[in-house]
Structure 1
Amino acid sequence: MGSIGLSAYGMTVTELVELAVCADELGFDALWLGEHVLRPAGYGSEHPTTGTVQHHATIVDTDTELIDPWVAHAAIAAVTSRIKLGTAVYVTALRHPLHTARTTISVQELSGGRVLFGVGSGWLEEEFAALGVPFRTRFSRTEECLDILRKSWSGTDFDHSGKHFTFDRIQVHPRPAPIPVVLGGNTAPALARAARLGDAWFASGTPTPDEAVALVTELRRLRRESGNTEQFPCYVRVSTTDPEVLADYRDSGVEDLVLWADTLWTGDTPDERRRNLTAAADRLGLQPSPRSVLSAAGQRN
């Protein structure tokens, strides 16, 4: 049996926390947060999924709410107990990996081990320019960041001498804090990178059912070719809560599904949004937490 999570982007931190509390009680598997640091004015970069179905007509617009996913997830970790805390995706090449290590370890321990570190190489060239990071190095920089992050999470001493980062022997944390790396991207190089370096994969955009099956099939082929037989979740956004359609995905081998939160978390008031998300969870057959069941029973009595 696969999982059903939520993907959120363009919401305020306050609303994300409200959403997470409700989703946690209702039994959604994970809340995946998208991110950008800033909106470059008049940017010309195109998202790599241009030409396929896009949930957001413009990904970074003048009124798009941009948040720090780790600040949001730290707040969410403090008020939830089950839901996993994912990024879809975090552009790790924009930051020094030791700083990212410090942040991710803190959220991982605060949440009791619920972080899913979704990583992308980035596509918004003007964002890289504003932060002083060479856009052309984003792929090699991402791979080097992942190497440093995994060493940082190990709890051991290490040094590093690479193309982008060099430092003497250090320790980031006094004990291991392993975090699954979920690599994103639908292009052939991105799939190869995910199969080689990732613990899981997250699809860009909202691929059609046929596209999703083709992408997951290719990833599994690449994993088999490399001799890797470990479990490898493939998270794919879908555009429906129809149980029959979702069953078709799973029958085709696409088991870990993610719904756009803003299609379910709808309404003018918190109570209305909660009712709509609860109705969706019921349609999906999710198992609410015991606390949620008791709360619902109390409201009926």
Structure 2
Amino acid sequence: MRVGVDVFAAERFYNGDSRGVLELAALADRAGVHLLTTSDHLGFTRRSHADRVRDFAFPFDLEQSWPEPLSVLSAVAAVTERIELGAYVLVATLRPAVLLAKQIATLDALSGGRTRIGMGVGWQEAEYDAAGLPFQGRFGRLEETVAACRELWESDAPSFSGRDFAFDDFHSLPRPVQSRVPVVFGLGASQRNFDRIARVADGWAVTPADLPELAESVTRLRQTFADHGRDPASAEVQVLLPTRTDAAGAPDYDAMRADAARAASGGADTVILRASALPIDSTDLPEAIDWLQALRSGLA
């Protein structure tokens, strides 16, 4: 079992100082945590945010800071040596494909080949409007975006012709250190989405709504990989653990360990803890990281 720590909103442990995230990253790296992730939004309208809170219990205030993930991960790369760098998840379709390919390749070069990016399409039409991009067609554009990135990363004469963008013999350096940058899609559990993953991605970042049917969905995902001529065992499955508290309001690590065990038995190979969601302060972070490490060995 691989374990990860999500550093989104972790500045709350450091009196609001965003640079404190680097301290948490270094702590996780020294402890041997496999993966570090953060989350993404360009912004919100007040109305769309209120709708999300009302309809889906969105847990973040409108005033919550959302640092740009690839910038954060580049800073993390400079203070870490081993931990892999990802997102849970990047709203990739808000970024031009050529720029996104350049950003990820640069991150991979700076980190020595430690990039492992989660991508999705988001839920907020107002976010697309503000970026001057169409909301419709975003799922297909995600697939094209990854295909274009792989062409730029891997081809000797990169050329691509898609619905929304095209290039011919376009060389963009640096290239990633890795021969194939792992990409996982944070999409709902459907056959259409699993086909998308099998065509261009490497795994699935599970949405909370899909956790109850995880085992059945993972079986279908792996069968889809086989149907596309890919090794079913190669499909990575990441799960962001729910936060559990006990009657006193303290972290219930036993309950979260049980959640992780259920995720593992359902086919997940990576579980991620969002530190900022725990009812703890900065002095408790080493204990949380130690718990992750114990989880890593306990669910091996």
**Offset of residue 248 of structure 1:** 4.2
SS at match of 1:31: strand
Structure with more of its chain in helix, by fraction: 2
SS at match of 2:26: helix
Report the counterpart of residue 4 of structure 2 in structure 1: 5
Report the counterpart of residue 218 of structure 1 in structure 2: 220
**Offset of residue 206 of structure 1:** 6.5
Query: 2:87 touches 2:119 (CA, 8 Å); kept in 1?
Result: yes
Distance in 1 (CA, whole Å) between partners of 2:277 and 2:287 is: 10
**Offset of residue 265 of structure 1:** 8.3
The C-alpha deviation readout for 1:27-80, integer Å capped at 9, x for no partner, is 211111110011222117977xx98xx7xx325532211111111111100011
Residues 251 and 141 of structure 1: CA distance in aligned 2, closer, same or farther (over 3 Å): closer
**Share of identical aligned residues, percent?**
29
1:280-299, aligned counterparts within 5 Å?
Answer: 280-281=291-292, 283-284=294-295
2:203 is the counterpart of 1:200: yes
SS at match of 1:66: coil
Distance in 2 (CA, whole Å) between partners of 1:25 and 1:122 is: 32
SS at match of 2:61: coil
> Which of 227, 230, 255 does residue 228 from structure 1 map onto?
230
Distance in 1 (CA, whole Å) between partners of 2:258 and 2:84 is: 25
Residues 20 and 95 of structure 1: CA distance in aligned 2, closer, same or farther (over 3 Å): same
Report the counterpart of residue 247 of structure 2 in structure 1: none
Distance in 2 (CA, whole Å) between partners of 1:97 and 1:72 is: 19
Question: Which shows bigger deviation, 247-256 or 192-201?
Answer: 247-256
Report the counterpart of residue 109 of structure 1 in structure 2: 109
The C-alpha deviation readout for 1:141-187, integer Å capped at 9, x for no partner, is 11211111001111522233321112342101265543111111123
Aligned-partner residue type, residue 4 of structure 1: V
Q: TM-score, normalised by structure 2?
A: 0.82
Report the counterpart of residue 34 of structure 2 in structure 1: 29
Distance in 1 (CA, whole Å) between partners of 2:42 and 2:76 is: 20
**Offset of residue 140 of structure 1:** 1.9
**Offset of residue 134 of structure 1:** 0.5
> Which of 268, 272, 295 does residue 254 from structure 1 map onto?
268
Residues 245 and 94 of structure 1: CA distance in aligned 2, closer, same or farther (over 3 Å): closer
Distance in 1 (CA, whole Å) between partners of 2:28 and 2:127 is: 32
Distance in 2 (CA, whole Å) between partners of 1:99 and 1:262 is: 30
Root-mean-square deviation (Å): 2.7
Structure 1, unaligned runs of 5 or more: 288-301
Distance in 2 (CA, whole Å) between partners of 1:250 and 1:138 is: 31
Report the counterpart of residue 285 of structure 2 in structure 1: 274
Residues 46 and 28 of structure 1: CA distance in aligned 2, closer, same or farther (over 3 Å): farther
The C-alpha deviation readout for 1:218-240, integer Å capped at 9, x for no partner, is 21122223332151111112236
Residues 246 and 112 of structure 1: CA distance in aligned 2, closer, same or farther (over 3 Å): same
1:166-205, aligned counterparts within 5 Å?
Answer: 166-173=166-173, 175=175, 177=177, 178-188=180-190, 189-205=192-208
Distance in 2 (CA, whole Å) between partners of 1:95 and 1:282 is: 35
Residues 166 and 195 of structure 1: CA distance in aligned 2, closer, same or farther (over 3 Å): closer
Residues 68 and 43 of structure 1: CA distance in aligned 2, closer, same or farther (over 3 Å): same
Structure 2, unaligned runs of 5 or more: 12-17, 245-252
Residues 45 and 193 of structure 1: CA distance in aligned 2, closer, same or farther (over 3 Å): farther
Distance in 2 (CA, whole Å) between partners of 1:204 and 1:186 is: 6
